Structure 1
Amino acid sequence: MNTTERLYLPVDGIFEMFNPAAGHHRSRVTHPVPHSAVFTPALQHPSVSNIPKTGFGIIKTVKGRWRQQDKRVVLRRSSSSGNRHVSNDPLPKRSVDLLEMGLTKPGNCHRIVVLGAPRAGKTNILRRFLGRDFEERYEPTSEDFHRKLFHIGGESYQVDLLDAASERDFPAKRRLSILTGDVFLLVFALDDRESFNEVSGLLGEIRAARAKLVKAKSPARSVPVVVCGNKVDLDSRRAVRLAEVTEVLGEDAPYFETSAKAGTGLDEAFRAVASLGGLPDETGPSRHQLVPILAYQSLCRGARGRRGSRTRAAPCAAVDPSARRPSFTSDLRLVLGSSTKHNKPEKCQIQ
């Protein structure tokens, strides 16, 4: 994981929805990506001086819009009763970032981006991954961000989950999520052919984004995507057959028929996501115990103080109740990260 390559990420088209005049500019930026098959978030952000004044104007505008959206998400979550563990202890006032706190390694932080058509069951699949119960009532998801923290085999892991439902109508914003994601979970409903067609298009978009990467030495690798055909419990209303799915997906994307309601196929799908992301199998919901966030933090700090000890706690995890999607500025800097290859950074001019 320490060996890195320089991959050139064309980001033309990301900013058209923010600045119509920017559409005719085609920019190329460089961005360090690990030797694995996934997009791993950059460890260090480029200098602020590398981003032009116009870029800061875009950041300020979009940051304000996302802040309003984040407030709505926090209010919606505060009224939810989906958590299994209820504690009277004071909760962290901000997101728990294990990397910033020095409680994990950079290679143990991953972002999973979930995409698909409405009503396909994306939110309930994520609820299962978070250790929560199936929610029968449907509420359209604008955008949701979750963070689950694991302690497995003496190591700490941070998994960010982005349910990017609202981005289906905003290609530029969706492209930003694709460029900053490590693993992708695409979900369609087996009783809805249109949802399958949408996932087929998303898969093609992700493949196209990877095809534009100019790799220095690494051979071609498969796309880090897992596809779920959800609602297999409604088999009598099936509109998409297995042979059709296999023909479209090919061999690059592992495919699982799942039921978020009954739990069918989810363990296998989560295991495939873990394999693509370099995560332990114990990240599957059935393989670990869910604990309160404060208990998790105490465990991590205690483990750090007992380095060298052979005693290891059983696999456990905690859901961060204060988790919020990293700012637009952070994601933009990640994509616009200047390359140090040949000691001649390339700047992406946004005008």
Structure 2
Amino acid sequence: MQMDRNSKRHVAYELIKPELVLPGLPGDSGSAESSAQAAEYCVAPEVSVDMTGYDERSEDILRYNIAFLGSGKVGKTSILQQFLYQNFDEEYTPTPHCEKYRKAVYMNGRIFDITFRDCPGVAHFPDNTISEWTECNGFYGLHLSQVFVLIYDTSNESTFSYVQSMREQILKKKGNETLIVVVGNKQDLTDPRNIYLKSHMQHIIKKWKCPFVFCSAKYNWHIVKVFNETLKTIGTQIDSKKETSQRNNSRWKMPRCKIS
């Protein structure tokens, strides 16, 4: 497999400085603070953004928490760092607690106020927010998250078992409408003849019916696609709910009486 780590990104999205779209953005601790101060952009040339008229209370801004989950050493942090800062650290550093990155993202005519949550591996999905504090050694925001990106290492079969278990727990405790995206990272380390790759993909697409992406954080391969698919999934759910609401409204719409 040929990787191109210097390939340009031609996709209809733009990372925006949060302070441009979210006036009065409160300072967060840790990596969220550094995220808000970041000056770099990742811009598709064909996208133009008019931020006039937007404010932090606007209904035009879609606010989402996206949690990244997976067992240790699958590359959760590396995927986020590549997408947000085009950076990859060769040396593995465990994530001791939940790291937050807040970004405004413009895509397909929508503005998203996204909080990305880089979560350490958890033994099981907590029952509620209180158990999250006591069992996870801190607040990860898992029950606040509307979207879950479940990541496994394609060169390590056991990490996929973790994703299977975590998916079942999330759907059981948060409901079947919870958005899940599955990502197979470290494709650069995987033998393409590995029979598990195809079986995983078929299982996820046919049975789980959720988006699935192979990627390599090291070589910046398909990293944009991970986030592209995630935001597309959110957009599809939003459009579906709007269509359902419109159908319900039209069903109960009574004909007007005319008096001549």
TM-score, shorter chain, exceeding 0.5: yes
For structure 2, the 5+ residue unaligned runs are 1-27, 42-53, 237-260
Q: What is residue 232 of structure 1 aligned with on the other side?
A: 187
- Asked which structure has the greater RCO (Cα within 8 Å, sep 6+), the reply is 1
**C-alpha displacement of 1:248:** 4.3
Within-5 A mapping of 1:92-241: 101-102=56-57, 104-105=58-59, 108-141=62-95, 142-151=97-106, 156-165=111-120, 167-168=122-123, 171=126, 172-173=131-132, 177-211=141-175, 223-236=178-191, 241=196
Give the 3-state SS of the residue equivalent to 2:90 in structure 1. coil
8 Å Cα contact 2:69-2:121 kept in structure 1: no
**C-alpha displacement of 1:261:** 1.1
**C-alpha displacement of 1:113:** 0.8
User: What is the letter of the counterpart of residue 115 of structure 2?
Assistant: D
**C-alpha displacement of 1:269:** 2.2
Give the 3-state SS of the residue equivalent to 1:125 in structure 2. helix
% identical equivalent positions:
25
8 Å Cα contact 1:145-1:161 kept in structure 2: yes
For structure 1, the 5+ residue unaligned runs are 1-69, 87-98, 212-220, 280-351
Q: Runs of 4+ in structure 1 displaced over 6 angstroms?
A: 237-240
Q: TM-score, normalised by structure 1?
A: 0.45
User: What is the letter of the counterpart of residue 76 of structure 2?
Assistant: K
User: What is the letter of the counterpart of residue 255 of structure 1?
Assistant: F
8 Å Cα contact 1:182-1:277 kept in structure 2: no
**C-alpha displacement of 1:192:** 1.1
CA distance in 1, matches of 2:105, 2:195: 36
**Which string of whole-angstrom CA distances, capped at 9 and with x for unpartnered residues, describes residues 289-323 of structure 1?**
xxxxxxxxxxxxxxxxxxxxxxxxxxxxxxxxxxx
Q: What is residue 260 of structure 1 aligned with on the other side?
A: 217
**C-alpha displacement of 1:240:** 6.8
CA distance in 2, matches of 1:237, 1:77: 40
Aligned residue pair count: 184
**Which string of whole-angstrom CA distances, capped at 9 and with x for unpartnered residues, describes residues 15-51 of structure 1?**
xxxxxxxxxxxxxxxxxxxxxxxxxxxxxxxxxxxxx
CA distance in 2, matches of 1:179, 1:259: 28
**C-alpha displacement of 1:139:** 0.7
Give the superposed CA RMSD: 3.6
User: What is the letter of the counterpart of residue 77 of structure 2?
Assistant: T
